[in-house]
Amino acid sequence: GHGSFSNDPKLNSVVGHLLHSSILVPYHGWRISHRTHHQNHGHVENDESWHPLSEKIYRSLDTLTRTLRFILPFPMLAFPFYLWNRSPGKSGSHFDPSSDLFVPTERKDVITSTLSWTAMAAILVGLGFTMGPMQLLKLYGIPYWIFVMWLDGVTYLHHHGHEEKLPWYRGKEWSYLRGGLTTLDRDYGWINNIHHDIGTHVIHHLFPQIPHYHLVEATEAARPVLGKYYREPEQSGPLPFHLVGSLMRSLKKDHYVSDTGDVVYYQTDPELKKNDS
C-alpha cells in the first residue's frame, strides 16, 4: 500500500489484494485512506488514523461510547469498525466507492477491493459450513482478533503515549515535516524483525516509500540530522511489556483537544478519569 514492495503498481495491487483480502481489509480502500494519514499526520481535522477528537465531537458522543473508547481492550478492537464507519466526526466507508474518502477516478479501484473482500468473506462462510464454526473460530477467528488488537495497539503507540505531551496542529502551523516529527519510534524487542522494523516509524512517516529492509539504516542516518527533534525509543527486553504501561497511561489521559487553537495538546476528561479509576 505504500508502494515500496515493487516499482510495478500492478504487481503491488495483485499482491496487495491477496494479502489484504486474506485479513479482511479492502486493499485500495485502506491504501488510499492510509495515504491520507501519511499526507496529513499531525493535523487535527485532516489526519485519518487515531487522530484526536475535538472537544465538541468528544462531548457529542454518548457516555458508553466515550467510556469504551478509552478502556482496554475496546480501543484495540477498533480496526474493522473503522473500515466500515471511520472515526467519530468523519463519515464514509472504506468499502463504498462513493465515500468522500475517494475521488471519482479511484472508485473502480475501490469496487475491485470490495469485491475481493466479499470473495474472502464468502470463502470463510464456506469454510464455516465445511469444517464447522468452532474450527473456523480457532483457525481464523481468534488469530484474526489477535492481529486486530496488535495492529491497533502498534498504530496507536506510534502516535500517542510519549512522556512529554506532543502537539497537534491546525491551519498554517501544520506542515508535513512538523506532523511527521510528532510520530514515535518504538522498540519491540524480538518482535522488531517479525513485523519488519515498523517501530522505526519516524523515518517511515517522513519517507513512506523506503522499503522495510532499509528502515533501520535510514533511521541511523537521519538521527544526527533530526537532532533534538528525534525522540529515542525506550529500549525493550525480549518482549515489549514496557509498552503496556505507555498504552494505559495514554488512554487515561489523552481524551480530546481544544476546538480552537492552531497548536493544541491532548486534554483529560476528569469525569472519565474518575470513572476509570
pLDDT digits (tens, 9 = 90+) for 197-234: 999 999 999 999 999 999 999 999 999 999 999 999 99
pLDDT for residue 4: 86
Query: What are the C-alpha distances in Å from 201 to residues 86, 105, 226?
Result: 23, 30, 14
Query: What are the C-alpha distances in Å from 258 to residues 57, 163, 181, 219?
Result: 10, 20, 21, 33
* Rounded CA separation 205/37 (Å): 9
* Share of residues in the chain with pLDDT > 70 (%): 98
pLDDT bin (cut points 50, 70, 90) of residue 35 is very high
Q: Which of 63-67, 77-81, 256-260 has the lowest mean pLDDT?
A: 63-67
> Long-range CB contacts (< 8 A, 24+ apart) of 84-87?
86/48, 87/48, 87/51, 87/53
Provide φ and ψ at 264, rounded to 5°. Answer: -130, 160
pLDDT of 277 > 70? The answer is no
pLDDT for residue 13: 95
pTM of the shown model: 0.92
- Helix, strand or coil for residue 264? strand
The average pLDDT across 239-257 equals 95
Q: What is the pLDDT of residues 103-124, one digit of tens each?
A: 999 999 999 999 999 999 999 9
pLDDT for residue 97: 95
pLDDT bin (cut points 50, 70, 90) of residue 21 is very high
Q: Which of 19-23, 49-53, 116-120, 214-218 has the lowest mean pLDDT?
A: 49-53
pLDDT of 274 > 90? The answer is no
pLDDT bin (cut points 50, 70, 90) of residue 271 is confident
pLDDT of 194 > 70? The answer is yes
Sign of CA dihedral 102, 104, 107, 109: negative
Identify residue 18 by its one-letter amino acid code.
Answer: L
Number of residues that make up the chain: 277
pLDDT for residue 49: 86
Mean pLDDT (the chain) is 94
Q: Where are the domains of the chain?
A: 9-274
* Share of residues in the chain with pLDDT > 90 (%): 85
pLDDT bin (cut points 50, 70, 90) of residue 3 is confident
Q: In the chain, which residue ranges form alpha helices assigned H by DSSP?
A: 9-22, 27-40, 55-60, 63-69, 79-85, 107-131, 133-136, 142-157, 176-180, 191-194, 201-206, 215-226, 242-253, 270-276
Q: What is the pLDDT of residues 144-181, one digit of tens each?
A: 999 999 999 999 999 999 989 999 999 999 999 999 99
